[in-house]
């Protein structure tokens, strides 16, 4: 662990405490105090004891764990959906990907890792307050966490731009839209997505997905082919003593994932 890294301290009940390591600082909770200097230099996965005798596990947060605790300017895409998006859009090392909008940066970070050091992610966000939050979230994770540092991510370009007004990039491998009216971008996508490239749209309601599908069918039948529409549910299970049962809460419907491919006219 190094100064400037973001780490999670986990108590015996599984509660997480998020701290940014800084020489001379300390972390205090109900079971005592721990100096940051005691943590700096330890290995990921170490256990440390507080002044009150509580053992705490020290780990670098995974991307999913970081997303759940990071600052949010807008509703984020859940990790369960992000995982499906990466597979359904077939995000590969070296890919050139356009995302709109950036939101709080959750999907942006996953895309950056998936495209690898030779890939490129361009992210459009028309609301400057959201793009600033996304930038800070991305820099905190990739700039401070050694295990997923910049050498493991692709090139990122954040643009304060409204994708409804046009797309500057050409020959894109993938375009991913998290917008209220994705059908308004189809005319720009037709010019910017390469033949064989994938368009993936994420929307919470049936009506949005239906309108997008019909717009493609009626106006762009020679440019796009709808491949699939999905929703993803995830339910955890827990083991207590001799019993095993599903958790009382689950993440059910959060949005629809719409996938289409650009075809040659």
Whether the model pTM is above 0.75: yes
Reading the block at residue 67, the tokens are 């997303």
The pLDDT, as a whole number, for residue 152 is: 53
Per-residue pLDDT of the chain (265 residues; tens, 9 = 90+): 999 888 999 998 889 999 999 999 999 988 888 999 999 999 999 999 988 888 999 999 999 999 988 888 888 899 999 999 999 999 999 999 999 999 999 999 999 999 998 999 999 999 999 989 999 999 888 863 333 334 557 789 999 999 999 999 999 999 999 999 999 999 999 999 999 999 999 999 999 999 999 999 999 999 999 999 999 999 999 998 999 999 988 888 999 999 999 998 7
Q: Residue 246: is it exposed, middle or buried by C-beta count within 10 angstroms (0-12/13-18/19+)?
A: exposed
Q: Domain residue spans in the chain?
A: 6-59, 64-262
pLDDT of residue 144: 39
Separation between Cα atoms, residue 49 and residue 39, nearest integer Å: 10
Look at domain 6-59 and name its CATH class: alpha beta
- State the virtual CA torsion across 226, 209, 134, 1 in degrees, nearest 10: -70
CATH domain 64-262 topology: Rossmann fold (3.40.50)
Could you give the C-alpha distances from 109 to 116, 180, 196, in angstroms and in order? 11, 21, 24
pLDDT the model gives residue 31: 82
Rg (CA), the chain: 21
């Amino acid at each position: 662990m190094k100064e400037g890294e973001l780490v999670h301290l986990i108590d015996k009940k599984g509660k997480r405490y998020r701290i940014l390591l800084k020489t001379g600082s300390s972390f205090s909770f109900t079971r005592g105090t721990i100096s940051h200097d005691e943590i700096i230099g330890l290995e990921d996965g170490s256990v440390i004891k507080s002044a009150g005798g509580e053992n705490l596990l020290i780990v670098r947060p995974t991307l999913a764990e970081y997303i759940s605790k990071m600052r949010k300017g807008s509703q984020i895409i859940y990790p369960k959906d992000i995982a499906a998006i990466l597979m359904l859009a077939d995000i590969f090392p070296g890919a050139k990907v356009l995302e709109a909008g950036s939101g709080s940066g959750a999907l942006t970070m996953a895309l950056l890792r998936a495209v690898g050091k030779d890939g490129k992610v361009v992210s459009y966000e028309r609301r400057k307050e959201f793009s600033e939050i996304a930038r800070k979230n991305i820099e905190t994770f990739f700039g401070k966490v050694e295990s997923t540092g910049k050498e493991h991510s692709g090139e990122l370009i954040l643009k304060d731009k409204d994708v409804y007004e046009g797309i500057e990039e050409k020959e894109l491998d993938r375009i991913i839209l998290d917008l209220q009216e994705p059908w308004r971008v189809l005319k720009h996508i037709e010019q910017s997505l390469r033949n064989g490239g994938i368009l993936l749209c994420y929307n919470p309601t049936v009506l949005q997905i239906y309108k997008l599908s019909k717009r493609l069918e009626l106006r762009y039948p020679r440019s796009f082919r709808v491949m699939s529409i999905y929703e993803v549910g995830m339910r955890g299970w827990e083991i207590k003593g001799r019993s095993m049962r599903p958790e009382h809460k689950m993440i059910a419907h959060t949005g629809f994932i719409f996938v289409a491919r650009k075809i040659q006219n």
